[in-house]
A = this chain, B = another copy of it.
Amino acid sequence: MSGEKEIKVGLLGLGTVGTGVAKLIEGHQEDLIKQTGNRITIQKILVQDKDKKREISIDKQLVTDDPWEVLKDSEIDVIIEVMGNIHPTYEYLMFALEKGKHVVTANKDLMALHGAELLAMASEHHCDLYYEASVAGGIPIIRALVEGFASDRITKVVGIVNGTTNYILSKMSEEGLPFDEVLVKAQELGYAEADPTSDVEGYDAARKMAILSNLAFHMDVNVHDVEVKGITKVTEEDIRFGKQLGYEIKLLGIAKQNDNLLEVSIQPTMVNKHHPLAKVSGVYNAIYVYGEAVGETMFYGPGAGQLPTATAVVSDLVTVIKQMNLGVNGRGVVAPYRPKQLKSDDLITSRYFIRLRVLDQIGVLAKITQHMAEHMISLQEILQLPDTEEQKAQLILITHETSKAQLNKFLALMEKLEIIDQISSVYPVEEGEIA
């Protein structure tokens, strides 16, 4: 093969994913030529440390620690951004787009926060900006939402979109270990970062849910619209009691639209053990998409990892190059066209799992259930268990569908009751439509 027009790529970042991208471009070159008609060449690579020892051999000439050497290189057609962070990455990409370079990014933080501005800049300069790798690693979920379901109205997106927390929760559940201990293990194995905040507090997953919601519901959803609760407070007891009632705790992203009103959250959730999401373990991701017409669909695959993520990046690159060949870059984006209206708490409904520590007295149960009835909360299941402390008992309530507003009123009241020693935990419950 020779004589193909060369496409020159500038790579911002040569960490795990960047290295994967370089491997794929090199290793799958002949296939990529068949797909696009072009040979792809990495023209320059921005790194932090030019002398760092690398997993792959890279021509020293290509490597620079000066971003402008990449961004201002007029021969570069496409910038692949895998350096992460918001700043100065945002400024770099805005610059690149303004100069007419197409961008492929794996940066969910950036897309969740500044996606709209970046896409507007891309559109203005007839540039492509693709970001399949930013959500759910190797799963082509963005393409599914944007193209596959273009004709449908999505009503719900539910999924596991963070592999680190899923790994931690899986381990906690399988081995009965506390959060802190599993976190340390996960860090040793490289499944969790040295500073795990973004993962374990749910921020990473929240950004992904913002991106998915934006595309699924055509609303300008950003990360601030997502209710976020991480997994740091999930206890061994919650997991154990959940299991007794047939649930596994998963960090679940839920985005629902009814009558153009939206709710988006990421929170630890009691998932029916028969629901396939309960069985997604380790670093895998799984996303259910419900459409008015299509019904229930599910997408499953590796949520992270060098080569899976690189697959998404380089597939985006293939799309960009095909569109370069047709001269139609930057024309395909449908900007959010529905006004964003978030549901108030009285419209957000769920079943809930409530764990209370109560005084072990006659009439406690009657009192609590009476209060629930007064707040229009009906019970699906109740379980009383001995507590480790004497004269206390564990009480687990699983409610029928109720509004968050009702739930909060009920919980506020419970706080004040003397017979309640502690509200130990509250989780939404996801039974799944296939149980």
Q: Which A residues, 127 to 175, have Cβ-Cβ distances below 8 Å to chain B? A: 132, 138-140, 143-144, 147-153
Bound complex: CA A132 to CA B301 (Å): 21
Q: Which of B132, B144, B325 contacts A140 (CB 8 A)?
A: B144
Instruction: Mark contacts of A280-309 with chain B using CB atoms, 8 A cut-off: 1 yes-contact digit, 0 otherwise.
Output: 000000000001111111111110010110
A310 close to B (CB within 8 Å): yes
| B332–A322 CB distance below 8 A | yes
Bound complex: CA A150 to CA B302 (Å): 17
Smallest Cβ distance from A334 to chain B, in angstroms?
6
A214 close to B (CB within 8 Å): no
| A151–B293 CB distance below 8 A | no
| B302–A294 CB distance below 8 A | yes
Chain B residues within 8 Å of A339, by CB: none
Residues of A in contact (CB 8 Å), total 55
Task: Give the interface segment out of A24-32, A83-91, A388-396.
Answer: A24-32
Most buried by B among A148, A310, A334: A148
A298 with B295, Cβ < 8 A, contacts A148-B143, A315-B148 known: no
| B301–A149 CB distance below 8 A | no
Bound complex: CA A295 to CA B312 (Å): 12
A314 close to B (CB within 8 Å): yes
Bound complex: CA A98 to CA B32 (Å): 30
Smallest Cβ distance from A162 to chain B, in angstroms?
17
| A302–B308 CB distance below 8 A | no
| B152–A334 CB distance below 8 A | no
Smallest CB gap from A317: residue in B: B151
Bound complex: CA A318 to CA B152 (Å): 11
Bound complex: CA A147 to CA B427 (Å): 38
| A298–B297 CB distance below 8 A | no
A218 close to B (CB within 8 Å): yes
Q: Which of B143, B276, B292, B313 contacts A143 (CB 8 A)?
A: B143
Chain B residues within 8 Å of A20, by CB: 293
Bound complex: CA A139 to CA B288 (Å): 12
Smallest Cβ distance from A202 to chain B, in angstroms?
24
Q: Which A residues, 263 to 286, have Cβ-Cβ distances below 8 Å to chain B? A: 276, 279
A151 with B32, Cβ < 8 A, contacts A293-B308, A294-B301, A299-B298 known: yes
Smallest Cβ distance from A194 to chain B, in angstroms?
26
Smallest Cβ distance from A324 to chain B, in angstroms?
12
Bound complex: CA A328 to CA B318 (Å): 16
Instruction: Mark contacts of A327-338 with chain B using CB atoms, 8 A cut-off: 1 yes-contact digit, 0 otherwise.
Output: 010011010010
A35 close to B (CB within 8 Å): yes
Instruction: Mark contacts of A13-42 with chain B using CB atoms, 8 A cut-off: 1 yes-contact digit, 0 otherwise.
Output: 000000010001000100110110000000
Chain B residues within 8 Å of A322, by CB: 332
A123 close to B (CB within 8 Å): no
| A151–B295 CB distance below 8 A | no
Smallest Cβ distance from A255 to chain B, in angstroms?
18
Smallest CB gap from A281: residue in B: B434
| A297–B297 CB distance below 8 A | no
Q: Which of B293, B305, B315, B326 contacts A328 (CB 8 A)?
A: B326
Chain B residues within 8 Å of A299, by CB: 297-300
A399 close to B (CB within 8 Å): no
Q: Which A residues, 335 to 380, have Cβ-Cβ distances below 8 Å to chain B? A: 337
A43 close to B (CB within 8 Å): no
5 closest cross-chain pairs (CB), A and B: A140-B148, A151-B314, A297-B301, A298-B300, A293-B307
Q: A140-B144, A325-B331, A326-B326 are in contact. List 17 more A-B contacts (CB 8 A).
A: A28-B153, A31-B218, A138-B291, A138-B297, A140-B143, A140-B147, A143-B143, A143-B147, A143-B148, A147-B318, A149-B311, A150-B314, A151-B310, A151-B315, A296-B302, A300-B300, A326-B328
